[in-house]
Amino acid sequence: MQYIKRGQISVEYLIMVGFVIFLVMGILAAGLISTSQLKNRIIINQVNNAMNKIIQSAESVFYAGEPSRVKISIYLPSGVKSLSIQNKTIIVQIQTDSGVNIVSYSSAVTLEGSIPVSEGIKKIKLQATPTKVLITS
């Protein structure tokens, strides 16, 4: 009779350990998913900040007149795949865990030039001309 009780206690103990392990795995999975989403939001926010700074600086330089120019520093995160400037729009492709996101940023003035897409801090020069703003790095 004692052997049966010992076996029953062992099975109950295994069930409890299994339940605790299942609970811990669920919590770890939820944490991993939220960490991934947070990382994606940080990358997108850094790109938004950089592009908004470029556009605001370009508009202020253009409206100040032709001889004006300004140098700005922006940070591009590692998820930026491509960046193209077309007339009054900057188009950015951002690699996230859910795939490639394409985001466009529009400006009130015509833009021309290029920005390298490598990760890190970029020094960018914006120079006004009579019809557009030249962007160089």
Instruction: Tell me the three state secondary structure of residue 123.
Output: strand
How many Å apart are CA 137 and CA 115, to the nearest integer? 6
Structure-token match 């001309």, residue found: 129
Confidence of residue 5 (pLDDT cuts 50, 70, 90): low
Q: What is the pLDDT of residues 91-115, one digit of tens each?
A: 999 998 888 999 999 999 999 999 9
DSSP 88-103: TEEEEEEEETTEEEEE
Boundaries of domain holding 40: 2-136
- φ/ψ of 99, rounded to 5, equals 130, -160
| pTM to 2 decimal places | 0.78
Residues 6+ apart with CB under 8 A from 1: none
Looking at the 3D structure of the chain, how many domains does it have? Answer: 1
Helix, strand and coil content of the chain, in percent to the nearest 5, comes to 45, 35, 20
Confidence of residue 7 (pLDDT cuts 50, 70, 90): low
The larger pLDDT score, comparing residue 7 to residue 44, is at 44
How many Å apart are CA 36 and CA 1, to the nearest integer? 53
Does the pLDDT of residue 136 top 60, yes or no?
yes
Does the pLDDT of residue 9 top 90, yes or no?
no
Q: What is the pLDDT of residues 26-70, one digit of tens each?
A: 999 998 888 888 999 999 999 999 999 999 999 999 999 888 999
Answer positive or negative: Cα dihedral of 57, 133, 55, 126. negative
